[in-house]
Each structure stands twice: as C-alpha cells, then as structure tokens.
Amino acid sequence: MRLEEYIQDSQTLVNKRINEYINKKESACKLIKDAMLYSINCGGKRIRPTLMFLTYEFLSTGKKTDIVDAAAAIEMVHTYSLIHDDLPAMDNDDLRRGKPTNHKVFGDGVAVLAGDGLLTDAFHIISSSKKINEEKKGMVIEILSRRAGSSGMVSGQTIDLVSEGTLLKKNSKKELAEQLDYIHQHKTADMIMAACEIGCILADKEKDLRSISDFAQKIGFAFQIADDILDVIGDKKKIGKNGSDKKNNKLTYVSFYGIEKSKELEEKLLSESLKILDMLDGRDEHKKLMKEMAYLLIGRDR
Amino acid sequence: MRLEEYIQDSQTLVNKRINEYINKKESACKLIKDAMLYSINCGGKRIRPTLMFLTYEFLSTGKKTDIVDAAAAIEMVHTYSLIHDDLPAMDNDDLRRGKPTNHKVFGDGVAVLAGDGLLTDAFHIISSSKKINEEKKGMVIEILSRRAGSSGMVSGQTIDLVSEGTLLKKNSKKELAEQLDYIHQHKTADMIMAACEIGCILADKEKDLRSISDFAQKIGFAFQIADDILDVIGDKKKIGKNGSDKKNNKLTYVSFYGIEKSKELEEKLLSESLKILDMLDGRDEHKKLMKEMAYLLIGRDR
C-alpha cells in the first residue's frame, strides 16, 4: 500500500467516526455541534490518527477500525487546541487551513465552548467505546490527558504564548535554547508521542513503549522545526495561515538558530528516528510506511 | 456529625489533594500551575465533591479518602468552567467569590489555558489514580465527560451565552420555558448529577443509579433556581459577583416566572428530592446529612 492511500484511508475513517459521534448526540445543542464540526471538517492531514494507526498496525495483527475511537479522540484534542490557539486572546489568527477560524465564524464565546466540547468529548469517545477493552481505557486516557494537559501541551502553549518578544529581551543563549526545546517538546512532540504511545499500548506491546516514545519524540521535534521553517519560507496560500509566528516576534527554531542550522537538526532527528524503527520488530509493510511518514512530516510541501 | 463539619472536612481533603497533584507536576510550567491553583484556592464551597462523598458514604461502608481523586476531578472540571465562563468572550466578569477573576490576574490567554489544563488534568487525576479500580475508571470518566461535554454542561453554557437578550425577542412562552429548562439542566444539574452518580458507581450500587440521578437532578434544578433568586435579591458582597445575569438581560427563572413562582418551584423540587432519598437504603447518618445538604443548597445565605 502506498502511504498516500494509507493517509487517505485514515482520514476517511476518522472523519466519518467523529462526524457520526457528534451528530448522534441528542442532548447537545445544534449550535455547539455545528461549531465543533466546522473545525473538524475544515481539512487537516490527520497526522496524529495516521501515526496511531500505523504504530498499532506495525506492532499488532489488528486493523485500523479496532482503534478508531482512540484515533478520533486524539484528532478531537488536536482540533480543540487549534480552536483555542487561534482565539484573539492567544494567537489571534483569522485563517486556519485557508478558511476563517472558528471564532471568526461563531464568535469568541462559542469558539471557547467548541474547544471545551471537543476536548471533553475526546475522553467520552474513548470511555464509552465498545471497541476498547475496559482495562485499556484507563491507560489510553492516562497517556492522552498527561500529554495534552498541564504536564504537556497546555504548558507548551503557555510558554509559547508568553515567549512573544522574548528574542528582544536579554535572556542568555542557554535560557533561550532551553525555552525553545520546552515549547517544541510540549506544544508539538507531546501529542505526536501520545498518538504513537496509544497505538503501542492498544497493540499490547508495552515492551516497545520506550522505543516508540523516542521515535515519536524525534519526529515530533523534526515536524515542529519543519513547521517553523515553512512559516518563514512557505507562502501564505500553501499553509493557509498568515505566518503569525513571525509577525508576533516569537521564539522559533528559525529565529533562534537560523534556517541552515534548523535544517541540519531536522535531518539529524529524522535519521535517528529511522534507526529506532529499524530496531523494532513488526509488520514490514507498516515499518516502511512509518519511515515514509517520517519523511513526509519533515519534507511536506517542499 | 454535623453537616458543617462534613463540608469542612470535604473541602480540606479536596483542596489538599488538588494542590498536591498540581504542585507535584514536574514538567508543567510554573505560570500555568500558578494560574490553575489561583482559581482552585480562591474559595468555593466544594458542593460537588461534598455530594460525591455523601452519596458514596451513604451507599457504601467506605470513607471519603477512597474516592478523593474522583472528588478532586469534579471540582477541577467545575473550576475550569468558572474560569472560561468569566472570560470577556463569555460573561465578562471581573470578580468571582469576591476576588479578581483568573483572566484579570493572568490575562485572557493564560486563563483560557488554565481552564484547559484543569479540564484535561481532571481526566488525568482519575486515570492515574491508585485508589480507583481499573474497571471503574472508564465508567467514572464516561459519566464525567458526558455530563461536562457537549451533551451536557458545554451545551448549557452555549445556550446560556446566546440567550442574552432572549426575553426581548418574540419567542413563545413555551419556547422560552423549554430553553430555560435546557439551560438549567445542562449548565447546573448535569454536574450535580455527575457528582452523585460517580459516588453511586464507586459505592458499587449501580442498582440505585436511577434514583440517585433523579435526586441529583431535582436538587440541581432547585440549586440553580436559588442562584437565580440570589442574583436578584442577594447583595453583591454576599455572592462575590456583580449580578451579571441581570445586567446582561439573560433568561433566568426569576426573569421568566417571577420570584414567588420560582420559590414555589424550588420548594416542590426539594420535597420531591427528599422523598427519593427516603426510598433508598444506606447509612442513616449520611442520609440525614444528604437531606441537610439539599436544604443548604436551596436555602444558602437566606
């Protein structure tokens, strides 16, 4: 199977599941369903669900549909984080994936609530799943909530938010480098790690969890560096947003290390991640697809 | 034991557990921990944890500390909802419990993230709990996420938000009454129900779940009606906020039915809730405390 097909198939599965789940809610009001589904259906590559599926299929004999509820959940958490990140109180972005952001369409208040709804419902789609083992539900939710909560993504977003203009201040090089790594770890790598870790746990391969985490951390970092680079060299149309990181004078890999050094780091992380994969046993077809996925994350649109 | 002592003990337990849980987080940044703990430590009666403890102790032979992680979780979800509700994008309140609201102290962006952190961490404190059975974790999270998410509280907040000025529009009486019940059910009753339902499930009394839900729904409605009344007749100091519901011309029980009729409804719900309790078997001491709690919720400050 080609990676393109695999991703397409993952997207279709996850989109269908989330739409079905939200549409089926009887007591939810129409406005919040519309607002949640607007952002869910605004596109997006479904990178995290695809990585979860790949890890699961690589390490087990199962198939994507076994874990579609967990894959839907991680995409719902990702989408909530984008809705809140775009708010005027945060990045204040008008466009996301080339379309008006949630608060531009539904207003700031409903956008806050749409994010809250997606985040909370992500834990509901897992805990109410008929496909996930009762004993596994706690483990999956533990990973997702740890990586997404204040020990993870929320802290990454916080430091990212307050780092605005940091480059103009008199922090030491060392402090800035640490802050940059902290943001990348928590803002981006944590959720990539959650995706792969959950795939690994659902495949019943706890023995591989450490290696899978390391792999995911490396491609997570590389992916964020690639995003920082794209924000500078990519044009507005291609990524569908306004390059607001640069606009706000934020601390990024590119603004700190420069483009050349950033590209070197990206390559180094990629090659290390591939080495980790090579040491793991699993289905060869999916190992190949995971490697292609690692390349795609870094080389996307270039 | 007197109810006052029981509440005091519940508060102490829950406050200690949440502070300990958040302070222990190594990878969380200091700013988000400070922002989350600011709102946690700003007071509050801990009504939902107390109801959870009471239901659990009423229906089992266990003690509060067995379920302190679940009790902490529901208070974290409640606190997140207050932080987001106070935002300029929502109710735009400057004071909560007599103190500056989260966004007034930390800024709008960090307040959004502090709410997100508390909400996500609530699912983590349950899923990582060493005190809750693995099989029970999924059930507890299912209840909490259903009652707090888009099928519950989030939809209540959404309709409440967009109902501003509704009374001035030409809706039919019937439509308005339905909308009012919808808001009360989801904005308030759902979380009171979650508290009691989780207490019941953790007590291993699924057979009593329906009755406990009915009891909780009735006291939840009565509690919200009492709050609506207080918003009109209570003075600013006593409740520590500015009576913003009235200010914003919102649809409330009092604005729709008037004070006298609202008080009648409140009394009716109270007496129905007590009847349900009378039909349940459990520890008499705790049944008595639950009844006193029902009175307290409705008569508070009057």
ipTM of the modeled complex: 0.95
Mean pLDDT of B97-108: 96
Stretch among A67-81, A152-166, B20-34 having the lowest mean pLDDT: A152-166
Identify any residues that bridge with A100 across adjacent strands, giving them in sequence order: A95
Question: Can you give the pLDDT at residue B170?
Answer: 65
| Pairing status of strand B95-96 against strand B99-100 | antiparallel
Give first-to-last CA distance, chain A, whole Å.
23
Question: Can you give the pLDDT at residue A168?
Answer: 60
Closest CB to A89: pick one of B109, B121, B152: B109
Interacting residues of A58 by C-beta distance below 8 A, sequence separation 6+: A199, A203, A280, A282, A283, A286, A287, A289, A290
Q: Which amino acid is at B232?
A: V
pLDDT band per the 50, 70, 90 thresholds, residue A237: very low
Question: Can you give the pLDDT at residue B301?
Answer: 38
Q: How far is B107 from chain A (nearest CA, A)?
A: 8
Q: Would you list the DSSP string of B248-276?
A: TT---HHHHH-HHHHHHHHHHHHHHHHHH
- CB-based contact B22 A150, cutoff 8 Å: yes
Question: Can you give the pLDDT at residue B163?
Answer: 84
pLDDT band per the 50, 70, 90 thresholds, residue A167: low
- Residue A201 and residue A209 in contact, taking contact as beta carbons nearer than 8 Å: yes
- CB-based contact B27 A161, cutoff 8 Å: no
Q: Which structural domains are found in chain A, ordered by start?
A: 3-294 (1.10.600.10)
d(CA B131, CA B65) in angstroms, rounded, equals 9
Question: Can you give the pLDDT at residue B302?
Answer: 31
- CB-based contact B116 A113, cutoff 8 Å: no
Closest residue of chain B to A141, computed from CA coordinates: B127
Best to test chain B binding among A82, A110, A123, A132 (most B CBs inside 10 Å): A123
- Residue A217 and residue A193 in contact, taking contact as beta carbons nearer than 8 Å: yes
d(CA A208, CA A215) in angstroms, rounded, equals 11
d(CA B152, CA A121) in angstroms, rounded, equals 10
Stretch among A223-232, A240-249, A266-275, B57-66 having the lowest mean pLDDT: A240-249
Q: How far is A11 from chain B (nearest CA, A)?
A: 23
Q: How far is B133 from chain A (nearest CA, A)?
A: 9
Question: Can you give the pLDDT at residue B166?
Answer: 66
Give yes or no for residue B237 having a pLDDT over 50.
no
- CB-based contact B162 A110, cutoff 8 Å: yes
User: What tens digit of pLDDT does each residue of B112-151 get?
Assistant: 999 999 999 999 999 999 999 999 999 999 999 999 999 9
d(CA A4, CA B195) in angstroms, rounded, equals 46
Q: Kindly report the average pLDDT of chain A as a whole number.
A: 92
